[in-house]
Amino acid sequence: MKKRAVSQYGFINAKLKAKIGIIKDDQLESDLLKAGSLVEAIGILREHGYVQAAEAFDKTGDLQMVELSLLKDLIADYQSVKNLTEGYPQELVKIILMKIEVENIKNTIRLWYSSAVHHRPITYRTSYLIKESIVNKIDYISLINAITYENIIDALSGTWYQNILKKFTFEQISQYGLFELESALDKYWYGLQIKACSSLKGDDKKVAYSMAITEINLKNILMLVRYGWFHQMDAQRLQNSLFPYGRVYSDKITHDYIVSNPKNRQPELLLRDKYPELASALKDINPSDNKSSMINHTRSIEKFLGEQKKKNFRKILSGKPFTIGTPLAYFYYREAQYYMICGILGGKYYGVDSSEIKGILS
C-alpha cells in the first residue's frame, strides 16, 4: 500500500507542493491591490505570468473575458492533475472538476431564465460561458440556444443533469425561481463527491472524506444562519435546502433549530459546541437589523468558516505526504487564487478602494 501510495503520489504531490509554495509566496495579491486602475492591474497580471488573461483584456477591454481566460487556465490546471492521477483518486479529481461544469451549467440556465422568464436580452453574454467539454460531453451550443425549458433538458441528454432538471417544470421555476433547481444540482454533485470519497482506500479515504464532510458542514451552517435566521425561511424549505450529509445535517440541535419558530431561531445554539467564538459573536446580533448589516454579518460568518477550511488544508499539507490531500489542498489554493484575482479586478473596475477590497477578500 505504502509503495503504491508513493508511486501514485510521489511525482504529482511534489509538483503540486511546489506550485502551492509559489501561490503562497506570491506577491500577486498585494501588487494587484496597489494598482491604481484596472488597466494597471492587468499590467501586474502580465508581469506575474498571466499573459493570456492580459492579452484577452488588450484585445477586448472586457473584464469578463479576462475572467473567462483565468477560468480556462484553472480548468486546464485541474485537467492536468486529473491526467497525472489514476483509479479512484482520478475519479475524485474528475468530480471536483465537475463542480466547475455544474457552475457553468447553472450560469447557462440563469442566462436562459433571464431571457425566457424576464425577457431580458442576453446577446453577447453567452460569450462568457465555457463552451468546451469540461467533464461530460455537453452540447453547449444547443444549450445556449434553448428557447424552452424542454430544449434545455434535451440539450443535457445523456448526463445526470438531465435527470435533475426533469424533476422541475417551467411553471415551477418561473414561479419560484432557480434556487431549488440549483440547490438540487449542488446536492447531487455533493452526493457524487461523497461517493467518490467512499471509493477511496486507507489514508486517501480518511483525508478526502473528512474534507468533503467538513465543507458540507460549513455550507449547511451558513445556510441555516443565512436562510433560517436572516431570511426566516419556513422549516420545510430550510430542511430541503440543506445538503443531506455530515454531522450538522443529522444533528438533533439542527433539527430543533429548523422546526422552531423562524422568529425565535438562535444560531449560537448551532455553533456553540464546534465554533464557540462565532456563537458568542452572533449572540448580540438581531436578525431584524438593516439589510446591509446583515450582509456584513453573513460575510463575517463566511470569513470565519473560510478560515476553518484554510486551517484544515494547512493541516493536510503538514500531514502525510503521499495522499490525495495534497491535490485537494492544491485545488483549494488554486481556486482561492482565482477568486482573489477576479475579486480584485472586479473591485478595481468599479473603483472600490484597495482597503475595502482587502477587507472583503480576507
Partner 1 sequence: MSLFTEDMRMITAVVIEEKSDAVIKALLEIGALDFVQINNLPPEQMARLSKKRPNSNRAGIEDARHRIDNLLRQGKRPMPSSTLLNVKNMVGLNISEYTSFLNRFSASLTTLKDEQKSYSQRLEALKEMKSYVQEGKRDYLDVRTGKIEGKIQVLEKRLSEFGALIVQKDSFITTMSLRRDAANISQVLEMLRWTETEDGNAQREGAIAVADKLDEEIRLCNEKKEEIENQVAEKIQEKEPKLLEMWCNLRLHELSDQIRSYFKYTNNTTLFSGWVPRHDANKIETAIYAATDGQCIIDWTEVNEAEDSSTIPVAMKSPKILKPFQGLVSNYGTPEYGTINPTPFVAVAYLTMFLLMFADLGQGFVVFLLGLLLTRSYKKNPMKKEGLLNKSVSLLMIYLGVFSMIGGILFGSTFGFPVFPALWFNYHAVVEGQASVIGTPVQSVYDILGICIKYGIVVIFVGLLINWINLIRKKRWAALLFSSTGVSGTLIYSTGLYLAFGYVSSGYKTFPSDSWIVYAFIIGALGILVHEPFDWLINKKSRHNKTFGQVCISSLGIWVIELLEIFISYMSNTLSFLRVAGLGIAHVSLMGAFEQLAAIPGMTTAAGILILLAGNVLVIALEGLSAGIQALRLNYYEFFSKFFNGKGIAYSPVSLRSQSHK
- Binder of partner 1 out of 7, 14, 22, 34 (CB under 8 A): 34
Binding range to partner 1, per CB under 8 A, among 32-40, 92-100, 163-171, 238-246: 32-40
**Beta strands, E only, the chain:** none
Nearer to partner 1, 212 or 344 (CB): 344
Nearer to partner 1, 55 or 91 (CB): 55
Q: Does 107 bind partner 1 (CB under 8 A)?
A: no
Q: How many residues bind partner 1 (CB under 8 A)?
A: 37
Q: How far is the CB of 25 from partner 1 (least distance, A)?
A: 15
Binding range to partner 1, per CB under 8 A, among 31-39, 84-92, 160-168, 311-319: 31-39
Cα within 13 Å of Cα(317), Cβ side: 19
Q: How far is the CB of 32 from partner 1 (least distance, A)?
A: 10
Q: Give which of 289, 322, 328, 234 is closest to 11, Cα–Cα.
A: 322
- Binder of partner 1 out of 14, 39, 259, 295 (CB under 8 A): 39
Query: 181 near 165, Cβ under 8 Å?
Result: yes
- Binder of partner 1 out of 50, 78, 88, 112 (CB under 8 A): 112
Q: Does 150 bind partner 1 (CB under 8 A)?
A: no
Cell of 134: 469540461
Nearer to partner 1, 168 or 349 (CB): 349
Query: How many H helices and E strands in the chain?
Result: 20, 0
Q: Does 146 bind partner 1 (CB under 8 A)?
A: yes
Q: Tell me the Ramachandran region of residue 202: left when phi exceeds 0, alpha when psi lies from -120 to 50, beta otherwise.
A: left
Q: How far is the CB of 50 from partner 1 (least distance, A)?
A: 12
Q: Does 37 bind partner 1 (CB under 8 A)?
A: yes
Query: Which amino acid makes up residue 159?
Result: T
Q: Does 324 bind partner 1 (CB under 8 A)?
A: no
Q: What is the DSSP string of 53-75?
A: HHHHHHHH--HHHHHHHHHHHHH
- Binder of partner 1 out of 23, 100, 117, 122 (CB under 8 A): 122
Q: What is the DSSP letter of 245?
A: -
Q: Give which of 352, 323, 272, 359 is closest to 35, Cα–Cα.
A: 352
Q: How far is the CB of 39 from partner 1 (least distance, A)?
A: 5
- Contacts of the segment 309-313: beta carbons below 8 A, 24+ positions apart: 309/214, 309/215, 309/218, 312/210, 312/211, 312/214, 313/211
Q: Does 169 bind partner 1 (CB under 8 A)?
A: no
Alpha-carbon distances, residue 153 vs 134, 161, 320 (angstroms): 18, 8, 44
Q: Does 124 bind partner 1 (CB under 8 A)?
A: yes
Nearer to partner 1, 147 or 295 (CB): 147
Distance CA 143, CA 131 (A): 10
Residues 48-87 that bind partner 1 (CB under 8 A): 57-63, 65
Q: Which residues of the shown chain bind partner 1 in the complex (CB under 8 A)?
A: 31, 34-44, 46-47, 57-63, 65, 112, 115-116, 119, 121-124, 126-127, 141, 144-147
